[in-house]
Structure 1
């Protein structure tokens, strides 16, 4: 930025005129050189901005977008029925729209579009992102152990940095230089005769609990339907990569159902029942439980402080008060400050 003074006819100097000459900062990755012939026949080099792919940008959209192709997906549409002796390596919850899958297990994802339209130039991009807004701009990367080229899961794996893998011969693994996000692009192709969808196998190559990688953060897979590098459809599936998919899915469904049924009681402590609804349970660590009456006899031999502990669950207030009285009588001969604790409890009952 430069300043120039202008002299008026009467000899006075006017205010400084500001002539901005600052050139904008240009990222060389956002532009490429192109040659163009001028009117005089000479070649002229011009700078042309690269096309921006919003599907892998810093803040990719998570909004469902069927588009003109009526883009939709099905999870596991081509799988065989379950059998008792066969454990599935993945589970999908429709109410939560969430996939639970083991590391490296193949998951069939079936894509469907309007059959009246052309499939030839369409591609599907898979992108793994974080759900939390604090981490949404960060790329999802594998942990140090799983991205080691010598790791057993990387045998034949084309790019060890990608968490999302696609088992397709024409899959292309890409990394956005601006956002640093990893994605995999697959040509959709056309469905087979009699089929209405195209199935592609995906796998996730790092656990959600891996430190230095996902690190227990919630993640989602964004599937975008693209034509000529333009997004024409989008679907999002939440995902958790774990060791026991069915168990984790049932636990999250149980929490979801309890929150829906009892929205007011969320975050409050559970009240203990006032009456006994079952037998008293006793837990002993390293010693047998003494018969009734013998423990509270005045002639009992005192044990050292490090004796094993016994636990008893009591649901009746009347029984609880009786046990407090017995404990108070016992600790009067042993530890004075503990006897005072039981004495205060008796006053509050």
Structure 2
């Protein structure tokens, strides 16, 4: 007989728990033979050989006493506050427990690399990578960690992050529940993880799991994560940069800490890391205050919009799924916003088109 993980803590390893369980009867006999003084009949009766039913009851009591630290009761039910607003905060916040998230250093042959200068993980799709969670103290029970992917650019920060159409197909999701398929990140190391939110209902997706206690000899709790979609997938993240927001939360949803990690899911993590680090250095060392050669005043600078077609056009398309049509409308909004920025003087048509697209988005999101 073995106990399920949901009934045990991290205090004892699996092998130690099983060994303790199967040797409870021998332990009882040893205590009876070595610690019970002769003539004490009451104690002798207390440690007399047990029947099968009594032994099982004693085993259960021992495991109940050793499963969790004192004054800790594990919360089995789903926390009452489980939704994440579309406007998520991405400011670092250590909180009262000095919440810390650490990336484990890896070798050169691993399918993921971490850039300390960019605070960014470059990882191949389907690769597992470990993350350590630390608290400087813990006087509360029922603490959770929420993992929320979000677009890092301010322009797209309120958009939902979800898997592309191709990777969400059933052939890529064997034995995966339908509500989990839309998530880009999984936590396979924790079978108590909840996959929350729904793209079709315009709810931000997140993964929530109870924060266990560190095992003996360590001050961190390690969890494994895996990404199941690429940053370049056109019907998913579509090359927009993303960040993972780790939040430490109480049972009632109060946030006690927040850490941010930038992520790029790609086929060549090492190459992309070196390229982005090089680009970052180039931008930081760009010369400033250097005189530029001015163009002659009589030289006509083309406005860029003289030959553009500014006539209003309309088209009707049929697309399955509300989420897909929302993505098309938001992409069109981005195009119009770009035209407004490039044509600050004559942009009435683009502003009008942007407002109409926004009205359609609002109508679909109701």
Q: Shorter-normalised TM-score: what interval?
A: 0.5 to 0.7
**Is residue 151 of structure 2 the alignment partner of residue 147 of structure 1?**
no
String of CA shifts for 1:137-173, please: whole Å, max 9, x gaps.
111111110000112xx23434111001111211111
RMSD of aligned Cα (Å): 2.5
Shift of 1:264: 3.3
Structure that is richer in strand per residue? 1
**TM-score normalised by length of structure 2:** 0.53
Residue 124, structure 1, aligned to residue 177, structure 2: no
- Can you give the 5+ residue segments of structure 1 that lack an aligned partner in the other structure? 1-49, 269-349
CA deviation after TM superposition for structure 1 residue 133, in Å: 2.1
Aligned residues: 209
Deviation at 1:179, TM superposition (A): 4.5
Residue number among 213, 226, 232 corresponding to 1:209 in the alignment: 232
After superposition, the Cα gap between the structure-2 partners of 1:104 and 1:263, relative to the gap in structure 1 and judged at 3 Å, is farther
2:267 counterpart of 1:243: yes
| Equivalent in the alignment of 1:135 | 156
Q: Which has the larger radius of gyration?
A: 1
CA offset digits 1:17-46 (Å, max 9, x no partner): xxxxxxxxxxxxxxxxxxxxxxxxxxxxxx
Question: In structure 2, how many angstroms separate the alpha carbons of the residues matched to 1:109 and 1:157?
Answer: 23
What residue number does 2:182 align with? Answer: 161
Please list the CA deviations of residues 110-156 of structure 1 after superposition, one character each: whole Å capped at 9, or x if unmatched: 000013x23641110101011122221111111110000112xx234
> After TM superposition, what 4+ stretches of structure 1 lie above 4 angstroms from structure 2?
50-53, 176-179
Correspondences of 1:1-349 after superposition (within 5 Å) = 56-76=84-104, 82=107, 87-115=109-137, 117-118=138-139, 120-151=141-172, 154-158=173-177, 159-167=180-188, 168-175=190-197, 179-228=202-251, 229-264=253-288
Distance 1:148 1:119 in 2: 41
| Larger helix share, 1 or 2 | 2
5+ residue gaps, structure 2, are: 1-78, 293-366
Contact kept? 1:173, 1:182, Cα under 8 Å:
yes
Alpha-carbon spacing, 1:125–1:52, altered in 2? closer, same or farther (3 Å): closer
